[in-house]
Amino acid sequence: MTKKNIAILGSTGSIGIQALDVIAAHPDKFRVEVLTARQNADLLIEQALKFRPNAVVIADESQYQAVKDVLFDKGIKVFAGARSMVEVAAWDNIDMVLAAIMGFAGLAPTLSAIEHGTPVALANKETLVVAGDIVMATARRKNVPVIPVDSEHAAIFQCLQGEAPNSVEKVILTASGGPFLGKKPNFLINVKKDHALQHPNWSMGAKITIDSATLMNKGLEMIEARWLFGLEPDQIEVVIHPQSIIHSLVQFVDGSLKAQMGLPDMKLPIQYAMGYPERLANDFPRFSFKNFPSLTFEQPDTKTFRNLAIAIEALRKGGNAACIMNAANEEVVHAFLKNRIGFLQMTEVIEETMVKVQHIETPTLHDYYESDTAAREHAAALINAIVI
């Protein structure tokens, strides 16, 4: 394996930070070429001083000068703004882009990398949720690998190695159930962000942790799997697996199952995606059956956690439905983290937004951007009318 120049889009988030840990552990395999951040200038500067990339991008243009004042004399190029994010993703000297920008904002730079022919390690599921048809069609046209970083999709990707594409009967995504597994609406109505951010198994960013608590994250992953692996909606299932040891399974046409297992640690799928097709050694903690004498499974409660049911409906409806849902979800999660909306009210806003924003059966990329804007505006209006 030759040394890869890596661009990390979203280096100050949870995935980006862990990716840099992986790179630091394998300096003979990876070099940091570009780092980008939305607004965490202090951490971006700290990372740049340690890893000495060719360039950094701070999306918040108001912080450009502060970043440049520290890094310019170090020989590190400094850029700012969303446009720069898109431009650096297409640089010739990048061997792989790790797309770890949170939410819809990751779509444009990820598409830029794919259009340029650069392999993508995809940690931004929203890119495929909102425009998976266009993104994967572009990847096929450009013959660009899109290697999943989400632990569930990384598991499926590994299970499919060496298998014929038409041999898959269905995939089964596992979900921990989040911090409120088994709880009912009379409990959830009083939930605050501090409770929702206490995930039992995984260390993740705030947005994805809330999505896990509502089960929206699993719905987003179902839509992501549909596009990543070319599946029909009925070929994707979800099962609750509280221990988070089996990361997902594939059932084949002969009835046999393959599962990928391991301790819940995002560094493993990050390392696998960046190193692919080589499997790199590491010193991560190892799974032992003596510590997990039983692994349990149950069906998700979609009556209580209606976000999963909403996502399944969007998956089956197709068109821009998932784009609308994702935009509304990003708005309500942001509001919940600011204590502006209740836990169960998030679902209500998403449902109403999906009813009100126009459905388009065969959207263009422009339609996706228009739908995202319309859904955000409608959801924001609903949030502003809520009194808690």
11 marked as binding residue: no
Name residue 80's amino acid. A
Q: How many CA atoms within 13 Å lie on the side-chain side of 1?
A: 17
125 marked as binding residue: yes
15 marked as binding residue: yes
- Return the SS3 of 180: helix
13 marked as binding residue: yes
Q: Where are the alpha helices (DSSP H) in 198-305?
A: 206-214, 216-228, 267-275
331 marked as binding residue: no
Residue 113 phi/psi, 5-degree rounding, is -65, -45
144: left (phi over 0), alpha (psi -120 to 50) or beta: beta
190 marked as binding residue: no
62 marked as binding residue: no
218 marked as binding residue: yes
Token pair for 146: 């899109």
Residues forming a β-bridge with 260: 248
212 marked as binding residue: yes
In the 8-state DSSP scheme, what is residue 284?
P
221 marked as binding residue: yes
Name residue 58's amino acid. I
304 marked as binding residue: no
CB 144, CB 117: distance < 8 Å: yes
124 marked as binding residue: yes
- Burial category of 182 from C-beta neighbours within 10 Å (exposed 0-12, middle 13-18, buried 19 and up): exposed
CA distance 22 to 20: 5
Name residue 349's amino acid. V
Beta strands in 114-263 (DSSP E): 120-122, 146-148, 168-175, 236-240, 246-252, 257-261
Residue ranges for the known binding site for NADPH are 12-15, 40, 124, 126, 205
Residue ranges for the known binding site for Mn(2+) are 150, 152, 221
Residue ranges for the known binding site are 12-15, 40, 124-126, 150-152, 176, 199, 205, 212, 217-218, 221
Residue ranges for the known binding site for 1-deoxy-D-xylulose 5-phosphate are 125, 151-152, 176, 199, 212, 217-218, 221
